[in-house]
Amino acid sequence: MKNFPEMPDRDMSWFVKDVFGNITIVIVYIFFIKIYTVTFIYTLYPFNSTFLDTMHMILFTTTTCLSLWCHLVSML
């Protein structure tokens, strides 16, 4: 049996204290929120409340939430 070297001790914290990275994360989430609100308010909301428009709003909101969740999971 082959002896593998032991892994060095690491700090197993999930939050890295990187100022530039944290500022970048905040900017990304601000852009996510801005793009969502601008798209939702100015392109999807003004139409008549038909069934198809409501489905577009639900689909857009779902994909936005999923993209935020995927970004959060990949980031952490």
Distance of CA 59 to the CA centre of its chain: 16
User: Per-residue pLDDT averaged across 2-25, rounded?
Assistant: 70
Per DSSP, the chain holds a count of helices (H) and strands (E) of: 2, 0
- Amino acid 66: pLDDT: 92
Q: Are 21 and 75 in contact (CB under 8 A)?
A: no
pTM for the full predicted model:
0.61
Per the prediction, the chain carries an average pLDDT of 79
Segment 33-54, tens digit of pLDDT: 898 888 877 776 666 678 877 8
User: Per-residue pLDDT averaged across 12-17, rounded?
Assistant: 65
Of the two residues 10 and 58, the one the predictor is more confident about is: 58
